[in-house]
Structure 1
Amino acid sequence: MENGTAGKAPCPLVETYKYVLLPLTYSSVFVLGLLLNGAMLWLSCCRAKEWTCTAVYLVNLAVADLLYLCSLPLLVVNYVLQDTWPFGELLCKLVRFLFYANLYGSILLLTCVSVHRFLGVCYPIRSLPYRTRRLAAVGTAASWALVLLQLLPTLVYARTGVINNHTVCYDMTSPENLSSYYPYGMALTASGFLFPFLIILVCYCLMIKSLIRTTGDTNPIGSAAQAKSIRTILLVCGLFAVCLLPFHITRTIYLFVRVYRVTDCQLFQRWSLFYKIWRPLVSLNSCINPLLYFLSGQTNRARLILELRLHKADPLARPAGNMKGTDVQRRLPPY
C-alpha cells in the first residue's frame, strides 16, 4: 500500500523503484550540492571583498540549500529501509518543512534576483536607489518571513503513521487529513510557485525585449551586462523547466487524484509514479542554484579558477591566494 492511502481505498501500488531511485538520487544531490554550495559560501565569505545585491540573495540561497541537504541522509536511510522511518515524528516534521522551505524560499529569492536583473537592464539609472545591499537584505528577510508564514501548517500536517507494521513519514499528511490538506496544498502552489513564476516571466519578457533593442551596442560594459543577463535568464528558465514546473504540475494532479479519484487504481498508479519521480528531481535545484553565482560574473569564475590553481600548486599558500584574489577583484568589475 502507498503510504498515505492505506486508510482510504484498497489500491495496491508497485513502488519498488523508490528503493533504488530515491537513495541514488538523494545521495548524488547531497554530495554534489554540498560541494557546490560549500564552494560558493567559502568564496563569498572568505574571498569576496564585498557583497553585491545579487550576492546577498545567492548566499541566502546557499544557506537554504545546505540546510535542506542536511536532511537528505535521513531520507536515504528511510528508503534503504524500504519506506520505514526510524527517526521519530519531530524529525519527520523537520524534514518535510526543510524540503518546502528550500523549495519556496529558492523560488522567492530567484524572483528577487530576477527583479533586480530586470531593473538593472530596463531601468539602469532610475533604479539605482532601489538596487542597494540594504534593500536586498530587506527583500531577503521579507522572503523568508513569507515562506515561514506559508509553511507553518506543514508542521501540523506532517506526521508519522503505521502501515503494515512499519512506521512511515507521510509525504504530505495522514489519510484522514487529506481533505483539509487539499485546499492548503493548492493555496501553497498558487502563492509559493504560480505568482512568483508569473513575476519572473514578466521580468524576463521585458528584459528580452530590452536586450533585443540594444543588441548593436558595442560598449564592452553594456555587452558584459547583456551576457550576464542572458546567462541568468537561461539558467533560471532551465531550472523552472527541468525541476520546478513539472514538479508542481505532477504534485497538483497527484493530490487531486488522491483526494477525489483514489478508487481509480490505474490513474492513481500512473500519477503516483510521475509525482514520485519528479519529487527527488526537484531537489536538483540545490545543485543548480550555485551555478547562478559562478555564471553571473567574470569575477566569480576567475576567483574560483584562481583558488583551485593555487590550492593545486600549494595547498598552504593562503596569503598568496588572498593577495591574488584581491588583484582579480580590482581588475574585473563586480556583477
Structure 2
Amino acid sequence: MRNITTGVTDEIDLACGMSGSHEFIFTLVPIVYGCNFVIGIVGNSMVVAVIYCYMKLKTVANIFVLNLAVSDLTFLITLPMWATFTATGYHWPFGEFLCKASAGLVIFNLYTSIFFLTALSIDRYLAIVHPMRSLRLRTVLYARITCVVIWLFAFVLSVPTALIRDVHHITNYTKVCGILHPTVENSMILKKLLLAISLMKSLLGFLVPFVIIITCYCLIGRALLGARQIQKSSRSRDDEVLRMLAAAVLAFFLCWVPHQVFHLMQMLTQLSLERNCAIIEIIDTAMPFTICIAYFNSCVNPIVYGFVGNNFRKNLMRLLRCSPNGVRVSHPSISSKMSALSFRASEGLSLTAKSKASSEEK
C-alpha cells in the first residue's frame, strides 16, 4: 500500500488493489464468525458457571481453566464487529477506538489463551511426573500469581498491535480497520515495528509455547507408559487421559498452524522490496479462513478441558437443572482423573525403582 496524502482520514491508494475481496468471503466468513461466537459464548460461559458454582477455585487446574475461559470470552465479544466488517466488504463503521481495541483484544487473546494452555501443560507435567516434589509449587496462591503475570505480560505484548491500528479511507464510502501506512518520515521505523510484532506473534504466540506443550506431554506419556507396566489394571483410565492430552495438543496444532503459516508468508511479503500482487492475493484470500480456524480454538478449549470430564458433565447437568446449593455433593475438580493418575504414576515409578534396587542387592 502507498499513501496518497499524509492525513490518516484522507483517502489512500492500494498498490495491488483490494486484494482478497471476494463475494464468497464476504458471505461465508461472517457465518463462521457467527457460529464461533454462539458456540464459544455458550461453551465458555458454562465452564465459568460450573467452576464458580460447584467446583470452586481450590485447585490449580480449575484456576487456569477458568482464566482460559474468561480470556476466550473477552475475545469472543469482538467477533460480531469482525463479522460485520467482513460482511460489508471490509468496511469498518465502529470508529477508531473500537478498531484499536478489537485488534488489540485479538492478539491479547492469542497470548493469554496459549499461555494458559502452556501453564496447564506444565501443571499436568508436575502433577503426574513429580507429584510429591511439586506440592510446594502447585498451590492456589502460586496459580493466581501466575495468572496475574500472564494477563499483564499478554497485555504488554498486545499494546503495540493496538497502537499501530487505525481507520483508513480507501474510497469515499469504504473505511478499513488496518495497520498504519508508512510515510517518508516513519517508513523504516514502522517496518521494524511490524517485523518485531510479527516475530513476537510467531515465536511467543506459537512456536515456544508449542515446544513446551509437546515436551510436557511427551514426558507425561513416557511416565504413564512406565507406570502402566507395573499397574496393568489402570490401562483403560491411562488410555483415556492420554487421549485427552493428545486431543488438547492436536486441537492447538490444527487451529493455529494454518494461520501461523500464512502469517509468516505475509511477513515475508512485507519485508520484500517488490510487491508480488499474485502472492498477496493468495495470502489475503486465505487469511480470513485461517483466522476462522484459529478463532475456533476458543470454542474447542471448553470441550477439551471441560466436557470430557465426567464430573464436569454431572455438575453441568446440575447447573442446567438449577439444583439448589443445599443438596450439593462434593465432586472432584476438572483435574480429578489426572490427580488420581498422578498418584498411580508416581507409585508405579517408585515401584520400578524399588524393584531395580532389590535386583541389584541380590
- Report SS of the residue matched to 2:314: helix
* Alignment CA distance shift 1:230-1:63 (3 Å): same
* Alignment CA distance shift 1:179-1:328 (3 Å): closer
Q: 2: distance between equivalents of 1:264 and 1:8?
A: 13
Q: 1: distance between equivalents of 2:20 and 2:142?
A: 50
1:195 CA drift (Å): 1.4
Q: Does the CA-based 8 Å contact 2:33-2:292 persist in structure 1? A: yes
Q: What residue number does 1:285 align with?
A: 297
Q: What residue number does 2:344 align with?
A: none
Q: What residue number does 1:168 align with?
A: 176
Q: Tell me the alpha carbon deviations over residues 130-178 of structure 1, each in whole angstroms, 9 at most, x when there is no partner.
A: 11111111111111121112112112111111112211101xx133166
Matches within 5 A, 1:58-73: 58-73=65-80
- Report SS of the residue matched to 1:318: coil
Q: Normalising by structure 1, what TM-score?
A: 0.86
Q: What residue number does 1:198 align with?
A: 211
Q: Tell me the alpha carbon deviations over residues 239-280 of structure 1, each in whole angstroms, 9 at most, x when there is no partner.
A: 222211221121111122134166212222122222221012
- Report SS of the residue matched to 1:164: coil
Q: 2: distance between equivalents of 1:133 and 1:249?
A: 37
Matches within 5 A, 1:238-257: 238-257=250-269
Residue identity (%): 27
Q: Does the CA-based 8 Å contact 2:256-2:293 persist in structure 1? A: no
Q: 2: distance between equivalents of 1:268 and 1:327?
A: 57
Q: Does the CA-based 8 Å contact 2:166-2:177 persist in structure 1? A: yes
Q: Does the CA-based 8 Å contact 1:37-1:287 persist in structure 2? A: yes
Q: 2: distance between equivalents of 1:268 and 1:333?
A: 49
Q: Does the CA-based 8 Å contact 1:231-1:295 persist in structure 2? A: no
1:66 CA drift (Å): 0.9
Is 2:58 the counterpart of 1:51? yes
Is 2:220 the counterpart of 1:207? yes
Q: Tell me the alpha carbon deviations over residues 61-87 of structure 1, each in whole angstroms, 9 at most, x when there is no partner.
A: 111111111111111222222111111
Where do 4+ consecutive residues of structure 1 move more than 6 Å?
Answer: 219-223
Q: What residue number does 1:318 align with?
A: 323
Q: 1: distance between equivalents of 2:68 and 2:81?
A: 22
Matches within 5 A, 1:100-179: 100-165=107-172, 166-170=174-178, 173-176=179-182, 179=191
Q: What residue number does 1:314 align with?
A: none
Q: What residue number does 2:284 align with?
A: 272
Q: What residue number does 2:196 align with?
A: 183
Q: Match for 1:47: what amino acid?
A: Y
Bigger Rg, structure 1 or 2: 2
Q: Match for 1:168: what amino acid?
A: V
Q: Does the CA-based 8 Å contact 1:40-1:62 persist in structure 2? A: yes
Q: 1: distance between equivalents of 2:213 and 2:15?
A: 40
* Aligned counterpart for 1:77 among listed residues 78, 84, 103: 84
Q: Tell me the alpha carbon deviations over residues 86-137 of structure 1, each in whole angstroms, 9 at most, x when there is no partner.
A: 1111000111011111111000000000000111121122112211111111
Q: What residue number does 2:352 align with?
A: none
Unaligned regions of 5+ residues in structure 1, if any?
312-316
Of stretches 141-150 and 173-182 in structure 1, the one that deviates more from structure 2 is 173-182
* Alignment CA distance shift 1:27-1:127 (3 Å): same
Q: Does the CA-based 8 Å contact 1:262-1:268 persist in structure 2? A: no
* Alignment CA distance shift 1:81-1:153 (3 Å): same
Q: Match for 2:286: what amino acid?
A: F
Q: 1: distance between equivalents of 2:313 and 2:254?
A: 24
Q: Normalising by structure 2, what TM-score?
A: 0.80
Q: Does the CA-based 8 Å contact 2:37-2:79 persist in structure 1? A: yes
Is 2:93 the counterpart of 1:93? no
Is 2:28 the counterpart of 1:15? no
Q: Does the CA-based 8 Å contact 1:22-1:79 persist in structure 2? A: yes
Q: 2: distance between equivalents of 1:20 and 1:297?
A: 37
* Alignment CA distance shift 1:49-1:326 (3 Å): farther
Q: Tell me the alpha carbon deviations over residues 270-321 of structure 1, each in whole angstroms, 9 at most, x when there is no partner.
A: 222222210122111110111233246332122224444xx2xxxxx532xx
* Alignment CA distance shift 1:270-1:244 (3 Å): same
Q: 1: distance between equivalents of 2:45 and 2:227?
A: 37
Give the paired residue count. Answer: 319
Give the alignment's Cα RMSD to 1 decimal: 2.6
* Alignment CA distance shift 1:85-1:69 (3 Å): same
* Alignment CA distance shift 1:302-1:219 (3 Å): farther
Q: 1: distance between equivalents of 2:119 and 2:336?
A: 22
Q: Does the CA-based 8 Å contact 2:75-2:105 persist in structure 1? A: yes
Q: 2: distance between equivalents of 1:49 and 1:156?
A: 37
Q: 1: distance between equivalents of 2:71 and 2:181?
A: 30
